[in-house]
Amino acid sequence: MNRSQLFEQIKKKKSYLCVGLDTDLQKIPKHLLSAADPVFEFNKQIIDATHKYTVAYKPNIAFYEALGPKGWESLQKTLEYIPKDIFTIADAKRGDIGNTSSLYARAFFEQMNFDSITVAPYMGEDSVKPFLDFKNKWVILLAHTSNPGSSDFQLFESNGRKLYEEVIRKSQQWSTPDQLMYVVGATQAEKMQSIRALAPDHFFLVPGIGAQGGDLEMVSKFGMNDHCGLLVNSARAIIYASAEKDFSKRASEEAAKVQQSMEIYLHAFT
């Protein structure tokens, strides 16, 4: 999916919601555990309930890897079930030496056909470039994340720049806003305006809304550009809105609430 197609979906649905499919067998409703594939059955019902309100789905790969071969099967079935006009994100945080990155890219882009993958930039340009060799596929580079430990390294300052600022500045030499996004945590909303100034045209994937306490209005106010430029992720607050048989109905209601707010912010801030 290219940038214009993604923006068309945002305008069509009046939404920039990304639903995180962080599917945990310990948290899904108990009645699903008797299904042949409980993870896929849960995902299927969540997708059915939320696809009207979302422009992206983001499976967190660790939740599937932890289940071994069965988990990979559940992930592939989930990907095949997601409507083709919805952007898909492999939240895999890969990043290794060049030839290894090339194989990761082939796995997620050719074998599984994700639209994008999250990538850790710590090993530098040659570890990221292989992911950028695929047409209409995206790299979503970790920049300033929402976890408490983000300050351990990301705020390290040298020559007047923080490390996350240098990541954003340097990586723009590797690709364009048509193929490169950045992860910017919602709990960093107070920094969103300065981060947007560093990358005025790029999309940001913004985790941390909902259960992690991020402020959607502030993220939208300071993070939007003239083509929206945001994919705001919510996982637990939507997919685990209920642990009972009404879980999909509740997920739909929660997704609809977020979309309704997003429609207001799209009108106000673009």
220 CB neighbour count, 10 Å cutoff = 24
Find, among 1, 234, 233, the residue nearest to 114 by Cα: 1
pTM: 0.96
Asked if 162 is an active-site residue, the reply is no
Count of domains forming the chain: 1
146 CB neighbour count, 10 Å cutoff = 20
pLDDT tens per residue across span 50-90: 999 999 999 999 999 999 999 999 999 999 999 999 999 99
**pLDDT for the residue numbered 209:** 78
**pLDDT for the residue numbered 158:** 86
Q: Which residue out of 44, 77, 93, 162 is catalytically annotated?
A: 93
User: How far apart are the C-alpha atoms of 224 and 192, rounded to whole Å?
Assistant: 9
What CATH code is carried by the domain that includes residue 235? Answer: 3.20.20.70
Sites in the chain below the pLDDT cut of 70: 188, 210-213
User: How far apart are the C-alpha atoms of 23 and 239, rounded to whole Å?
Assistant: 8
**pLDDT for the residue numbered 230:** 97
Domain range for 7: 3-269
